Amino acid sequence: MKRSKKDRQVLLKETIEEKPFITDETLAQMFSVSIQTIRLDRMGLGIPELRERIKSVATSNWNETVKALPLEEVIGEIVDLELDERAISILDITEEHVFSRNKIARGHHLFAQANSLAVAVINDELALTANANIHFTRQVAQGERVVAKAKVLRTDKRKRTLVEVHSYVENEKVFTGTFEMFRSNQEKEGN
C-alpha cells in the first residue's frame, strides 16, 4: 500500500532525524519512490542534502579538532570527534577504492579509514600505531558507504592508548580493529 505524501514526509523526517547520514537513494528504496520525490520532499520539509547534514552534525558536535595529523590526511570524512573518547568517519566507496574486476573494496582502504580515525581521536600532537589486530567480516562493494566508529578504551602509564574501531555498512559490521596507539605525552593516566 502506497503512503500519502503527508505520511511519507512525516516518516521521512523521523528517519533522517534517526539516521542523519542516510542517502537519498536509500530513502527512495525504503519508501518505494523515486530519488527525485525524496529530494522534493526534503526541500519541502527544509531538510538539507546529505553533505550539508554531515557538515551540520560535525560542526555542531565538535568542540575539538584533530591534533595528531592534518584533517586532510584522515581517510574518510570525520563527522564526530571527542578527543580521547570517540570519533566517527564516513567513507563512500568509489571506483578508486575497488578492484576493477569485481568492484569489491580493497582491504587497505577500510584499514586506512579505521587506522587514521584511531590516530585522529588521540589528544596529542604525535600518535603512532604500535600494534593492530584487525578482522574483515564481509566484503564491501562499490557504491556502499562505510561508517567507522572509534572508541578509546584505555590509556596506560607507558603512553599507550587502546582504540577500538568498528566499521559498518548500513547496520552490518564489515570491519573490526583494535589499535594500540603510542602517544608522546600523557594527559590521561591510568584509565
Mean pLDDT across the chain, nearest whole number? 86
| 16 and 99 inside one domain | no
How confident is the model at residue 57, as a pLDDT?
Answer: 58
Q: Are residues 39 and 91 in the same domain?
A: no
Cα separation of the two ends of the chain: 54
Task: Render pLDDT for 100-127 as a digit per residue (tens, 0 to 9).
Answer: 999 999 999 999 999 999 999 998 888 8
- Assign 161 a pLDDT band (cuts: 50, 70, 90): very high
Which domain range does residue 98 map to? 62-183
Q: Are residues 80 and 167 in the same domain?
A: yes
70 and 142, same domain (yes or no)? yes
Check whether residue 116 and residue 71 sit in a common domain. yes
177 pLDDT tier (thresholds 50, 70, 90): very high
The helix (H) or strand (E) run that includes residue 46 is none
Residue 188 lies in a domain: no
Q: Which residue has the higher pLDDT, 51 or 92?
A: 92
Same domain flag for 52 and 66: no
Q: Has residue 107 been placed in a domain?
A: yes
In our burial notation (b when 16+ CB lie closer than 10 A, e otherwise), range 19-38 reads: eebbbbebbbeebebeeebb
Average pLDDT over residues 63-78: 73
